[in-house]
Amino acid sequence: MLNLSDEAIEEIADGIASRMKNKWRIKDGWERGTAGHEKFWNDYIKRIDPHEKQYKETIRGLLQKQANQVFENIREYPNTPIMWQFNRVESYKELADAESKFTTRLYKQEGQKAIDLALELARKQRGYKATPSAGISFDVMNPLVIEQLLKQNRRFPGGLIGTTESEIRAAIAAGIKEGETIAQIANRVKQKLSPSHIANRAEMIARSEAIYAANAGAELGYIQSGVVEGKQWLIAWDERTCEACEDMDGMTAPVGSPMWEKEGRTILDIQTDYGLNFDYTEGEMPFPPLHPRCRCTIIPILKQIEQGFTPAGNHEEAREFAMREFGISDPERISYGALDMDKVNSINKGLYDVKQKYPKFHLDELISSRNDANPSKALFTSDWWKAGEGQPVNLKIWINENMIIDKYKTLADFNKMCADANKVKWFIGSNMEEVMIHEAGHILSYAGKTSKEIFAMEDAIVGLNKYGISKYGKYNGIEALAEGFVAHEKGWGLIPKTLREALKIHLGVI
């Protein structure tokens, strides 16, 4: 759930629309200090605050463990400062484990919130009614997510350990330079590892890591939503906000990019003005924090989506989309059964992508669920052969509910099945959207034909069997066409010349 008021959503939507019209520059709408701004930021802080507090205690405990090991070494080797360091290997392992669990939770939480917000705003642009469900789940196994998690999790333990080690070495070096006794040098080291120092450091680390993880998750969620093209830097407008962050307020960048800009100034200009060298990413800053203890976040700038695929939030929205985009006139003729929204949106997306390129694609009969006592293994079946000779074919596509729901509980399960089958070339298609392209190939090959003409087409392409680019298509010319269509649409370059000719003749593929 978004947990944002209708007023806040409306204000965000108006502001985003204004920025889009003005090439992302703020001129009116959702500006600093407004109710929508404050509500969004307050909800953001409220969500991450419990994670930050919990992580602060975790980090404090691990830092204290480092300190206790140092104190023990001072007692055991009182005259050998070189032996006063903590167990680096053990500390690294514990820090890496804590960071991994912490960041993954925040990425998933804020990634999902970002998807929900982006799609809620997109639906408002499309005129849909507001819905509590976004219809897309944040994919923590997405390669971009894994890459970003690895970057943060690899950087953090080494950086924290290196800082502690440097502080200990610096204290020892300072004492030696001042000509202090071993006992005095030991006291210097202990002061660097005092409870107050550890508590302050743990708070700074937890805040910085939380803000980074939350904004990384948000950006990755905006990318996964498919409806966001840019992002805007958003600050906490209160007495604690620093001047550097104030100057960043309203800066924009393409989603996924660190190239922030506002009125001719860049993030590098801001960092130079204020002498900031705080940078998690060695030369890039795709999202806040700008500095330690920063509280900034990002909001989405939507794509122009007057035309395009917007994932539905529930079956009614999916049905509305199918009616509008696929030319289905009667809503009673569309049912997605008990399919969850990830599956429903993947089905609509795969069919929609084909519809944009092939005007003769019409899903004008039925999308329905079937639960036969003895269902076929195929995801879809079509009963075009039941049409009388010479009569137009009313193509019916049946979503085999038993296969999708009972055997493959989630979209990820179904996609894994597809990917496994694709690896051994049983059929072409590594996910549900590509399976939809396959079925769309059947629709195109049947479009405008009578049952007699379809039988004739099947006879004409029987010789294509040996050219099947999958085991599935090798034994059936109709399936060879559909498999070839998937390969063509995905640009895989696997299609024999004879099959290409058939695609051109029977499906209109160029």
**Closest by alpha carbon to 248, among 219, 291, 310?**
291
> What is the per-residue pLDDT for 379?
39
Work out the average pLDDT over 299-305.
Answer: 79
One-letter identity of residue 36 = G
Q: Look up residue 343 and give its two tokens.
A: 């599956």
Asked whether the CA dihedral 313, 319, 320, 321 is positive or negative, the reply is: positive
Whether the CB-CB separation of 482 and 441 falls below 8 Å is answered with: yes
Q: Look up residue 276 and give its two tokens.
A: 């900031």
For the chain, give every domain's residue range.
6-229, 315-507
Whether the CB-CB separation of 235 and 246 falls below 8 Å is answered with: yes
What is the rounded radius of gyration, in angstroms, for the C-alpha atoms of the chain? 29
**pLDDT of 104 over the 50 cut:** yes
> What is the per-residue pLDDT for 25?
38
228's CB contacts (< 8 A; 6+ apart) are 118, 222, 255, 300, 301, 302, 303
Q: Which single residue is written with the structure tokens 């700038």?
A: 301
228: which strand partners? 302
**Cα–Cα distance, 184 to 312 (Å, whole number):** 68
Helix (H) or strand (E) run with residue 254 in it: strand 252-254
**Cα–Cα distance, 202 to 279 (Å, whole number):** 18
Give the residue, 32 or 237, on which the prediction is more confident.
Answer: 237
Tens digits of per-residue pLDDT, 151-202? Answer: 888 888 888 888 888 988 998 999 888 888 988 998 988 888 999 999 999 9
Least confident of 168-172, 214-218, 317-321, 397-401: 397-401
**Cα–Cα distance, 186 to 374 (Å, whole number):** 79
Give the residue, 18 or 415, on which the prediction is more confident.
Answer: 415
Please report the DSSP string for 188-241 in residue order: HHHHHT-HHHHHHHHHHHHHHHHHHHHHHHHHHHHHHHS-EEEEEEE---STT-
Tens digits of per-residue pLDDT, 442-479? Answer: 878 877 677 677 777 877 776 666 666 788 777 777 88
**pLDDT of 385 over the 60 cut:** no
**Closest by alpha carbon to 350, among 384, 326, 376?**
326
**pLDDT of 141 over the 90 cut:** no
SS3 452: helix
Work out the average pLDDT over 47-57.
Answer: 93
> What is the per-residue pLDDT for 225?
86
**Cα–Cα distance, 44 to 67 (Å, whole number):** 34
**Cα–Cα distance, 206 to 203 (Å, whole number):** 5
Give the residue, 412 or 381, on which the prediction is more confident.
Answer: 412
> What is the per-residue pLDDT for 409?
67
The pairing of strands 396-400 and 366-370 is parallel
SS3 63: helix
**Cα–Cα distance, 85 to 82 (Å, whole number):** 7
> What is the per-residue pLDDT for 367?
52
> What is the per-residue pLDDT for 400?
46
**Cα–Cα distance, 346 to 13 (Å, whole number):** 26
What would the 3-class secondary structure string for 308-356 be?
A: CCCCCCCHHHHHHHHHHHHCCCCHHHECCCCCCHHHHHHHHHHHHHHHH
Least confident of 113-122, 123-132, 251-260, 283-292: 123-132
Q: Look up residue 474 and give its two tokens.
A: 């090798």
Q: Look up residue 114 and give its two tokens.
A: 């970002």
Q: The whole model's pTM is what?
A: 0.58
Whether the CB-CB separation of 397 and 322 falls below 8 Å is answered with: no
Whether the CB-CB separation of 1 and 132 falls below 8 Å is answered with: yes
